[in-house]
Amino acid sequence: MSKIRAAVFASGTGSNFEALVERDDLVCEIAFFVCDQPDAKVIEKASNYGIEAFVFWAKDFSSKEAYEQLLIEKLREKEIDWIFLAGYMRIVGHALLRAFEGKIINIHPSLLPDFPGKDAIGQAYEANVRETGVTIHFVDEGIDTGPIIAQETVPVYEDDTKETLKQRIQVVEHQLYPKTINQLLKKITSS
Ligand code: GRF
């Protein structure tokens, strides 16, 4: 049986993108990559792995609907079934949500529903919480509001800086994202 084909959407450094691509037991193939920041570091990573990319500036389009329609065409052309957001800094619109209903997943560096939106690690750090973590969830119209698939707690230590906390959160992210994708896709394909 041929592998499920997935696309990763990212806008930044791409450490989660890399963790997915490097994971040799991933049950799906990362067959496409989408980026909305033409100067993002993650683009070079995708190119080094030989993964075909679509890079765009949202401002070159008249609306979210317009660039998402083009994205949908590209994703269909590449026979993509699933979308994994990994630091994609745009809100997914109706067009993409409809086209990939129930098949878009995001990773967020907090224990949602706490600290949604930008700089979740900084928000948790400033709030002086004793623990934070990582959430994997389905994407809906809201900002980090979709149904939760998996969560893992990360303690915040007295002597943590925002940077040390971020490093420990990322270690968890890089394990939890591929593990959760594998569990979910295995469950879906066996039912
Ligand atoms: C990660 O912390 C992820 O949870 C959030 O954006 C960050 C992306 O980091 N959505 P990277 O580009 O994968 O290193």
Q: Which residue, by CA, sits nearest to atom 14 of ligand 1? A: 15
Q: Average pLDDT for consecutive 10-residue bins of the chain (191 residues)?
A: 91 97 97 97 97 97 98 98 97 98 98 98 98 98 96 98 98 98 95 81
DSSP readout, 10-57? --S--HHHHHHHH-TT-SEEEEEEEES-TT-THHHHHHHTT--EEE--
pLDDT of residue 53: 97
Instruction: Show the tokens assigned to 155.
Output: 């303690």
* Cα–Cα distance, 25 to 48 (Å, whole number): 20
Residues in the chain: 191
108 is catalytic: yes
Instruction: Kindly state the DSSP code that residue 93 receives in the 8-state scheme.
Output: -
* Cα–Cα distance, 21 to 43 (Å, whole number): 13
Name the residue of 15, 92, 177 to mutate for ligand 1: max ligand atoms within 8 A of Cβ: 15
* Cα–Cα distance, 117 to 108 (Å, whole number): 9
Residues with beta carbon inside 6 Å of ligand 1?
Answer: 10, 12-17, 86-87, 107-109, 173
pLDDT of residue 1: 56
pLDDT of residue 2: 76
